Structure 1
Amino acid sequence: MPVYHPNKTPASNALTDLIRAVVRMTAAVQKSGTRLTQDIGITNARWQVLGELSALEKRVTVSELSRYLGLTRQAVQRLANEMADDGLLEFAENPGDARAMHVVLTPAGRNVYAGAMEREWQWTNAVADDFDAEEIARAVALLEAMTQKIQSDT
């Protein structure tokens, strides 16, 4: 049983427990993601990049992509360079700034992402099967609200 500071409120103690649970869940999700995609040659980080580029309805630069992902520009640039070398994405001219190229999925990148998502829906269906969709939606809303509060405080 965790030991809490005597001045913490019950809500603060519950938040500490929630943060610990989210950290454990993040580790479990990353481990599962690695297992799901290891034979198609993408890491969790590459999967994130492919997913974000697939979801965006506009072309973005590495700097913009890094902000969407919450990663450093340098880390995303390294990933983008490696993924371009592997044919998963390419750099395209940016009419607004010749120095900041756009990052664009290639057909191969779209195919790899589609393969990962085929595995992902099967995995999420299996995990979600034991839970009520409304219960999951309430958890999502709570986590999003807390994330927004934390981000606004920093």
Structure 2
Amino acid sequence: MTSKTERLTELVRTVAFAGRAAAEEWVRDSGLTRQQAFTLGYLEQHQDRDVIARELAEMSGTTAASVTSLLQGLEERGYVTRTSSPTDARIKVVRVTPEGARVVAGFDESMAAEQRTLFAGLDDSEQDQLLGLLEKVVAADPSAGRPPGNGPRSRR
């Protein structure tokens, strides 16, 4: 027999897996690797400050050499630029180009469409009710609102 908590957990996972499957499909269709897509999304999200390769390596749990190779590939495709920091010429700042931002915007649009489809079976009142209940669950557990690890938003 399945408890209520187990059933709730199963249903929340099902919703999360639907989003993840849509994200994986977008990554496959984009011609990017998962790591490239994640990196572009992270950079786009943090465009307001200077992101450097070391930060990318730390937050993704990879080596500096791996990040360098990853950035070379994104740069060759015209998705990122690496320029010297205005405060230290030895440091390269990584930024998303307009083309890279367009790619990321396509991901956001795809995820929004998936989310609309996923919740289309609920009317506005039911969506408000579900939203309130999930906010209550998250508020009751301070760790529930944090992403696993040190990663960026979960869209990639």
Normalised-by-shorter TM-score class: 0.5 to 0.7
CA RMSD in angstroms, aligned pairs only: 3.4
C-alpha displacement at 1:48, in angstroms? 1.7
Q: Residues 52 and 92 of structure 2 are in contact (CA less than 8 Å); yes or no, is this contact kept in structure 1?
A: yes
Q: Residues 91 and 104 of structure 1 are in contact (CA less than 8 Å); yes or no, is this contact kept in structure 2?
A: yes
Q: Report Cα offsets for 1:97-139 as digits up to 9, x if no partner.
A: 3232011111110111111111111112333455612233345
What CA distance in whole angstroms lies between the structure 2 residues aligned with 1:80 and 1:142?
40
What CA distance in whole angstroms lies between the structure 1 residues aligned with 2:110 and 2:53?
27
Q: Residues 83 and 94 of structure 2 are in contact (CA less than 8 Å); yes or no, is this contact kept in structure 1?
A: yes
Partner of 2:133 in structure 1?
135
Per chain length, whose mean CA-contact separation is higher, i.e. which structure has more relative contact order (CA < 8 Å, sep 6+)?
2
- Aligned-residue sequence identity (percent) comes to 22
Q: Residues 33 and 44 of structure 1 are in contact (CA less than 8 Å); yes or no, is this contact kept in structure 2?
A: no
Task: State the number of aligned residues.
Answer: 134
Which of 26, 30, 47 is the aligned partner of 1:36?
26
C-alpha displacement at 1:77, in angstroms? 2.8
Q: Report Cα offsets for 1:47-86 as digits up to 9, x if no partner.
A: 221221121121210112334x443243433322211111
**Residue aligned with 1:96, SS:** coil
Q: Residues 19 and 115 of structure 2 are in contact (CA less than 8 Å); yes or no, is this contact kept in structure 1?
A: no
**Structure 1 or 2: larger helix share?**
1
**Residue aligned with 2:85, SS:** coil
Partner of 2:84 in structure 1?
93
User: Which sits farther off after the overlay, 26-35 or 115-124?
Assistant: 26-35
Residues 8-27 of structure 1: pairs in structure 2 closer than 5 A: none
Unaligned runs of 5+ in 1: 2-13
TM-score by length of 1: 0.64
